A and B are shown apart, each in its own frame.
Chain A
């Protein structure tokens, strides 16, 4: 009897435990189901935001500061332009602090501005080293920190492109071009930057895209152009003498691609038998080169002005407690002389981004 009571009690206990566990598990499971949905919803909210048509209950952050890592680069100058313009539409007081590749200065700047602003936009000098400080500041202040370029622990979200996917797009384009114009022969020189994971992903994406069309395509040499045009001219010059049959030059940014092209031209190479593939297309140099009709025919455009908008929009959304995904993928496209006009309009003051067209670029499957 005692044992029967005991058994029943144990049985009841087990049932109770199962019910209790069930009561815990179901909401957790529901929450797990809800989190991706909420994140996807947040992603969609950010992409559709209109400063003149926000939900009534939303508040606008008074101040936003972007702590950049290398503000003198043309990418950041155009990114900041995009942020400034978008911030002005919201009536946000926007400012920029640049760390000039100094990790200590970068983290000190974030600590300094944290008490004075509502949202911090942050581009790390070194994502791993920045993680603990960013996590601490995010926890202490509760303010949204929107990261750009590289994922960093503690950030509310990351706004950046999928480097591999963008490289793949132009690699695929190059493969098709080589198929039509070089009888399928593709011997490529990669003017890369092996020190950064993002630029390595660009080179890998390019190679994968090229080989997806032409499996026999070869990356005959990979050199470190350090992302600088003068360095790219030098190392590409050496690599081209070792591999005079190169017919495709890929650069991890505009300067690397254009530097490779200059090296090719200075050696008296036949540019009719050359394809130059760039990455970024943030400045006029790339756009002018594309429109010239020379061997620079395609670039993976990253649209810095549009990313600037996304950064501000993500900050406003996070400020209003919208759940955001870990990564808001910014769009990229293989731009050529034929479609550059879809994304940029040339005026007296250079090229102006066509935001509606850029916003329509699909980022499906990109991460």
Chain B
């Protein structure tokens, strides 16, 4: 099963012969291309309207804020391509946050806190996969239940928040520090570096490995994948676990940025993530979607939200914009499926 970009129309012989025509076609006929055009147009508009939009400071603030959404969206892309979904990633920001901060306070060791966070991610992922695949319950239902259970656990762990009592410098650096300085550009924040590394890793995994091909195959046609020897349940289990672990990693970065574990963190985060993945071209019907599309959608949404605040527009519009994006994404998904005769 080949992965399919959003508006998948084979290039013509003329386009193959002329790379420029191919590029233009890619820009205006694929979802990734359209997202890139819209993103560039939005950036140019905001740079014109706001004197600070293109500043180094704003760009890195913007990229830092989007990093956590991007990290989780990478996992969610795999899961949606595999024809499953995880609604618990928002509640995980709260649950993993309070648990990890408690572990950090108890051990005063960065790696111990990170390990607890990632293990919590593995545990939630395995439960999601087990209930979905073994009991044959729709992952929407399972993870909706997990959404409540995990949030409830976060409330049970702490009255409101777990404060930073360990004062580890390295912990604060993860969310607010800078990894290195790019000559002529500026200091690059750690969250951006982490997100970029995870993107590169999973781009290779999804596009260049047997596992990646299996993810598309499982999502495109699970029965055919099974008949061709792919262990569908194993692939889906791995996708669930990857998503939860990446959600846990994002939660760890978030608590570093907030300097506390909050039991009310991550409200609506799952919608931002799923909205971005769908806008990026992934299909809820499975088998379709690219990490590039997801990344561009995350950048577009983040830039839009950033612009709303920079232009002094009531920031409550951010919520409406996120909802609107989901509607647009679903419409694009429906259009794509119609074009592929999947109705």
Contacts and interface: CB of A to CB of B under 8 A. Distances in A.
Interface of A: 72-74, 77, 194-195, 221, 223-224, 226, 228-231, 233-235, 237-242, 244, 255, 258-259, 262, 265-267, 283-285, 288
A266 B52 contact: no
Nearest to A241: B58
B71 to A, nearest CB: 15
B310 A74 contact: no
A223 B309 contact: yes
Interface string B54-81: 0101100110110000000000000000
Contact of A77 (B61, B160, B264, B315): B160
Nearest to A71: B155
Interface in B235-264: 254, 257-260, 262-264
Contact of B267 (A228, A244, A266, A285): A228
B175 A238 contact: no
Contacts of B262: 228-230, 255
A72 B266 contact: no
B207 interface: no
Given A229-B262, A266-B257, A238 B306 contact: yes
Nearest to B264: A228
B316 interface: yes
Interface residues of B, number: 37
Given A228-B265, A285-B163, A241 B316 contact: no
Contacts of A238: 58, 61-62, 65, 305-306, 309-310, 315
B314 interface: yes
Contacts of A258: 258-260
Contacts of A244: 52, 57
Interface of B: 50, 52, 55, 57-58, 61-62, 64-65, 93, 155, 159-161, 163, 175-176, 254, 257-260, 262-267, 305-306, 309-310, 312, 314-316, 318
Secondary structure at the A interface, as helix, strand, loop or mixed, is helix
Nearest to A81: B159
B302 to A, nearest CB: 10
Given A74-B161, A259-B258, A288-B163, 5 more contacts: A234-B65, A242-B50, A242-B52, A258-B259, A266-B176
B300 to A, nearest CB: 16
A282 to B, nearest CB: 8
Contacts of A285: 160-161, 163, 260
B161 A194 contact: no
B158 to A, nearest CB: 9
A224 B318 CA distance: 10
Contacts of A288: 163
A221 B265 CA distance: 23
Contacts of B176: 262, 265-266
Contact of A72 (B50, B93, B155, B175): B155
B263 A72 contact: yes
A262 B258 contact: yes
Contacts of B50: 242
A265 B160 CA distance: 22
A229 B160 CA distance: 11
A290 B305 CA distance: 32
B264 A283 contact: no
A165 B102 CA distance: 37
Contacts of B305: 234, 238
A184 to B, nearest CB: 25
B159 A74 contact: yes
B260 A77 contact: no
B173 to A, nearest CB: 11
A194 B265 contact: no
